Structure 1
């Protein structure tokens, strides 16, 4: 057995409720739910997106300020100051290792497998 969500009102209370603003709205809402609930809800979503677009525009404008176009002089400076690329040097630099380090094979015990396939 489930309980109803409707509140019990006496006849006098029901007439007073129907005459109130909430009662008239509830009656109209039951007849046309989209017109009295769906349409205002959708319009609030649309108006809110237009209102918030100003805030998002500020966000993207700040990001655009950080990114600037390079002049030809800056581009020439970048090309002339470029260092030579060596894959081994980059590997060691990214690993945080010194340049004098070389990989060494670990000595095996007598009779230990070399694990060569």
Structure 2
């Protein structure tokens, strides 16, 4: 029965060659990732800043529309609780029941 030829594991030699290259060129391990992070962060921050300015401009345009319509600072703030108490304070004598005519075609007794 023939025996197989023994070959050494080449993965170890590849790892050694990679570590030698990194030692010869430390830019690949430290400099390149640093530059990628700085450039990527610059693009990301520019998008966030643009979004912030767009939101602020939209809010200012809304205020300008209110000013054009004549809505001023003198308008009363709406409070649900105050409206509730105002409606509760009204008595039943403040309104009058008015009967309206029935629409044509509805003959219900």
Task: Give the shorter-chain TM-score range.
Answer: 0.3 to 0.5
TM-score (structure 2 length as normaliser) = 0.44
TM-score (structure 1 length as normaliser) = 0.42
Which has the greater radius of gyration?
2
